[in-house]
Amino acid sequence: MTALPADREPGPVHGTWEPAPAARWEDAFLSGNGTHGAMVFGDPNDDRVIVNHHALVRPNGSADARPPALAGQLSDVQDRLLAGDVTAGEDFTDGRPPLWVQPFHPAFQVRLRRPAVQRRAYRREADFTTGVVSADCGGRRSEVFVSRADDVVVQYVTASDLTVEVALDHRLPGAPSDLAVGHSSVLTPEGALLTLRARYPGSDLAYTGVTLAVVTGGRTRTALPGLRVEGARSLLLLTRVRRHTGELDALAEAHELRALLPDSGVDVDAYPHLLARHTALHRPAYLRTTLDLGADDTERAFPGSELLRRPKGPALLERLFAAGRHHLLSASGTLPPRLTGLWTGDWDTAWSGAFTTDANLNLQTASAAAAALPEVTEAHAALVHGQLPDWRDNARTIFGTRGVVAPAHTDGESGHIYHLSREYPLHVWTAGADWLLKPLVDHDETRGARDPRLADALAEVAYFYEDFLTRTDEHGHLVIVPSYSPENRPANASWVTLNAAMDLSAARHALRTAADYHPGSDAERWRALADRLPPHRVNAEGALAEWAWPGLDDTYDHRHLSHLYGVWPLDEINPYDTPELATAAHRALELRGAENDSAHGHLHHALVAARLRDADRVAGALGNVLAGDFFHVSLMSGHYPSRHVYNADAAHTLPAVLIEMLIQSTPERLVLFPALPTACPTGQLRGVRTRFGAEVDLTWSPGERTAVIRPARTLRIDLRTSSGARPLSLRAGEDCVLSLGPQ
């Protein structure tokens, strides 16, 4: 049993550690700044740091792919579907074979080899407050972080007599055998400059890694493909990656890296200088929101691998909350997190390591607004706003409309819809734009200001619906046709069908939200259009139906819960304003199977259950993930049980579940302790942001629950607790302390 370190105060551990280096890349500790990522093995004899970059996607022929030109066929397929032809949508295609987006891949590994020594008193550690991954062994210490201030991977190695060979090595699993790779190694006044240039097969595209080596003491000489350092006191490596066409000016890159050093160049203070600049940005962001579940300090001191063998302990939840928050922040910058976050050690990433937007991306970023990570939302916004021209092409080419339609898969470059097949007709998913804009709306509500870019995007979604919603049913309601519920199908019909519940919720929400952002005649027209959409349907089992069209039977055993979009993340269906629909939604949740046990399915289930105030179901979904061996010792997760398929869904989504079970908000409502499992009887959650502009701290125990609300706006809200409902008046700048009594 490991004792609590003497220099650490009792409380949650903001990091993790292991008593051995990583043997697999999946177990490497992670650092990142939202553009560059680093995966650190920590082996003192053969240390490897795999370098990643958000822009590294391998050309596969899809870069110039365009959406299918189907607008001319739309009217015919609508007629046939409305007439009862349940397979009519299978003809709504241009016959193209499935084409995946460009796959995400690693750049290379920075490899440090030294004469083998016996491993003594080893410790590998990740500090989430700084993003530093360190390894200590027998007087040798290495530290790695990815600078948020300077966009560079920083490695710092110290020893009394440091002798090591350094190389940039592209030989990672799945790397193409015909990848054209060139190396160079040049001595500099600081130490050496290493470059690796890799050109993709059959393409003009390439990427180049540049590493500046700053050596203190000893001797340095080149030894292709790298360099050899002998008898040094320290080695500082600064690495950047660029994706480009033609040749990259490596000397210019090296000049930029030198400029990051203090004026003294090789002065011993270079590393602390770089670390301080980074930490000033990373630490405050990470520490804005914290969770303490009152875990035993002895358990808190365990390595992550030991905690993972104790899935029922609060210490594991504390650490996974901390790790998920750190990894989400570290993966978000230039772009939001991919299916693998910002990291992979293999060129053969599942599902191309893409941004899968029909569920996974929004689930991973679900905590951004409430957990005070605007950096994540800004990265999400960068992806959305950067692709709006392609979304316009999708709407015009597939549906013949104005406005925008979002893709279900993107590599981060193209927003065109071209990944589709008979079983995955992702080109008819019209809810995507609203689904992807909803986190940006939440962000605006939380900060109390409206982004004009978001206002424009919402208007474009409304324009799409104005042109698309032209068909009606026998009751005069508008019909969404064709319609699609990702990635499911009715039990008695094909995938392309009518009035998917998600499509109805998205259309209503998009039109009304666009109207809120654009008061005037447009708003009146958009609200009127929203009012003409049909209500949700409750099926014979008393469940909210996945398709609000008579005769379509539900398929319950599926990983997605798209039909409950109105519950989470929307506020359309809730126990307070729409209790009958909330009961039907709860019944739908009860009937839903786990299908293939994907992590995102379990945690999506938990998010919906929390909104419906079902603490037992939240606990059950969390238990399925914690006991299912989903987490690597890196505390990054797998897509399936037994850590199968490296995937960030569980790691990044779990903090959102823990927040939603404790606090929920809308611009007019605050819900406290809606779904607290009995397994978490004591705790503190600090720094949560609400959508009505307040910061909230929660403290609870079996005998007392307390909330401290710090509002930035003066307003009156609806407060909901287990004791019932009451209005609550808040005044900007005045703390409001609520004593809520026992649980």
User: Checking phi first, is residue 121 left (phi over 0); if not, alpha (psi -120 to 50) or beta?
Assistant: left
Are 205 and 108 within one domain?
Answer: yes
* Whether the predicted pLDDT of 518 surpasses 60: yes
Range of the domain at 426: 64-99+354-537
Are 381 and 498 within one domain?
Answer: yes
CB contact at 8 A, 375 and 443: no
CATH for 368: 1.50.10.10
- The count of structural domains within the chain is 4
CB contact at 8 A, 65 and 427: no
List pLDDT tens digits, range 120-130: 789 999 999 99
95 in any annotated domain: yes
Read off the pLDDT of each residue in 678-699 and give the average, rounded to a whole number. Answer: 97
**DSSP letter, residue 722:** T
Are 107 and 92 within one domain?
Answer: no
Are 676 and 617 within one domain?
Answer: no
Read off the pLDDT of each residue in 406-432 and give the average, rounded to a whole number. Answer: 96
List pLDDT tens digits, range 13-70: 999 999 999 999 999 999 999 999 999 999 988 999 999 999 999 999 999 999 999 9
Are 423 and 530 within one domain?
Answer: yes
Are 80 and 118 within one domain?
Answer: no
CATH for 158: 2.70.98.50
Q: Is the peptide bond before 97 cis (omega within 30 degrees of 0)?
A: no
294 in any annotated domain: no
**DSSP letter, residue 437:** H
The CA distance from 270 to 292, in Å, is: 36
* Whether the predicted pLDDT of 691 surpasses 80: yes
- Last residue of some domain: 643, 661, 679? 661
Q: Any idea what the Cα angle at residue 104 is, between residues 308 and 149, rounded to 5°?
A: 75
Q: What's the gap between Cα 484 and its chain centre?
A: 24
* Whether the predicted pLDDT of 4 surpasses 50: no
- Residue 205, classed as helix, strand or coil, is strand
Read off the pLDDT of each residue in 453-475 and give the average, rounded to a whole number. Answer: 98
Q: What confidence score (pLDDT) does residue 116 get?
A: 73
Instruction: State percent of the chain over pLDDT 70.
Output: 98
Are 599 and 526 within one domain?
Answer: no
Q: What are the tokens at 631?
A: 């987490």
Q: Which residues, including other chains, have CB under 8 Å from residue 518's CB and lie 6 or more apart?
A: 455, 458, 459, 462, 526
Q: What confidence score (pLDDT) does residue 190 get?
A: 84
R_g (Cα) of the chain, nearest Å: 26
* Whether the predicted pLDDT of 516 surpasses 60: yes
Give the number of other Cβ atoms within 10 Å of residue 524's Cβ: 11
542 in any annotated domain: no
The CA distance from 650 to 643, in Å, is: 11
Instruction: State percent of the chain over pLDDT 90.
Output: 92
Q: What confidence score (pLDDT) does residue 600 get?
A: 97
- Residue 459, classed as helix, strand or coil, is helix
pLDDT level of residue 269 (50, 70, 90 thresholds): confident
pLDDT level of residue 10 (50, 70, 90 thresholds): low
List pLDDT tens digits, range 33-47: 999 999 999 998 899
628 in any annotated domain: yes
pLDDT level of residue 2 (50, 70, 90 thresholds): very low
* Whether the predicted pLDDT of 470 surpasses 60: yes
* Whether the predicted pLDDT of 268 surpasses 80: no
- Residue 65, classed as helix, strand or coil, is coil
pLDDT level of residue 703 (50, 70, 90 thresholds): very high
**DSSP letter, residue 428:** G
What is the secondary structure of 235-296 as a DSSP string? EEEEEEEEEEES---HHHHHHHHHTTS-TTSS-TTHHHHHHHHHHHHHHHHHHTSEEE----
Least confident of 192-201, 217-226, 633-642: 217-226
Give the number of other Cβ atoms within 10 Å of residue 219's Cβ: 11
* Whether the predicted pLDDT of 189 surpasses 90: no
Q: What confidence score (pLDDT) does residue 1 get?
A: 30
Q: Residue 462: which of 402, 388, 396, 416 has the closest Cα?
A: 402
pLDDT level of residue 560 (50, 70, 90 thresholds): very high
pLDDT level of residue 454 (50, 70, 90 thresholds): very high
Are 491 and 391 within one domain?
Answer: yes
pLDDT level of residue 288 (50, 70, 90 thresholds): very high
Q: What confidence score (pLDDT) does residue 202 get?
A: 92
Least confident of 162-166, 182-186, 267-271: 267-271
Are 227 and 275 within one domain?
Answer: yes
Are 401 and 476 within one domain?
Answer: yes
Look-up of token digits 């009594």: 741
Q: Which residues, including other chains, have CB under 8 Å from residue 9's CB and lie 6 or more apart?
A: none
Q: What confidence score (pLDDT) does residue 138 get?
A: 83
* Whether the predicted pLDDT of 348 surpasses 90: yes
338 in any annotated domain: no
Q: What confidence score (pLDDT) does residue 580 get?
A: 98
- Last residue of some domain: 661, 688, 708? 661
Q: What are the tokens at 553?
A: 């039977």
The CA distance from 304 to 296, in Å, is: 15
Give the number of other Cβ atoms within 10 Å of residue 64's Cβ: 8
Q: What confidence score (pLDDT) does residue 413 get?
A: 97
Q: What's the gap between Cα 534 and its chain centre?
A: 33
Give the number of other Cβ atoms within 10 Å of residue 467's Cβ: 14
**DSSP letter, residue 135:** E
CB contact at 8 A, 67 and 398: yes
Q: What confidence score (pLDDT) does residue 170 get?
A: 96
CATH for 676: 2.60.40.1180
Mean predicted lDDT score pLDDT of the chain: 95
- HSE at residue 96, side-chain half, CA atoms within 13 A, is 19
**pLDDT, greater one: 196 or 268:** 196
* Whether the predicted pLDDT of 8 surpasses 80: no
435 in any annotated domain: yes
What is the secondary structure of 471-531 as a DSSP string? -B-TTS-B---SB--TT---TTS-SSBS-BHHHHHHHHHHHHHHHHHSTTHHHHHHHHHHH
* Whether the predicted pLDDT of 490 surpasses 90: yes
Sheet strands (E) in 92-225: 108-113, 123-127, 132-137, 140-146, 153-169, 180-187, 191-199, 205-216, 219-223
Are 175 and 234 within one domain?
Answer: yes
List pLDDT tens digits, range 314-329: 999 999 999 999 999 9
Read off the pLDDT of each residue in 466-486 and give the average, rounded to a whole number. Answer: 97
342 in any annotated domain: no
- Last residue of some domain: 639, 661, 683? 661
User: Checking phi first, is residue 716 left (phi over 0); if not, alpha (psi -120 to 50) or beta?
Assistant: beta
The CA distance from 530 to 542, in Å, is: 25
Q: Residue 501: which of 580, 562, 434, 574 has the closest Cα?
A: 562
Q: What confidence score (pLDDT) does residue 323 get?
A: 98
The CA distance from 193 to 109, in Å, is: 16
Are 223 and 359 within one domain?
Answer: no
Among the residues of 288-341, which ranges form H helices? 297-300, 304-307, 314-330
419 in any annotated domain: yes
Q: Residue 52: which of 35, 28, 66, 71 has the closest Cα?
A: 35
* Whether the predicted pLDDT of 250 surpasses 90: no
**pTM higher than 0.85:** yes
* Whether the predicted pLDDT of 5 surpasses 50: no
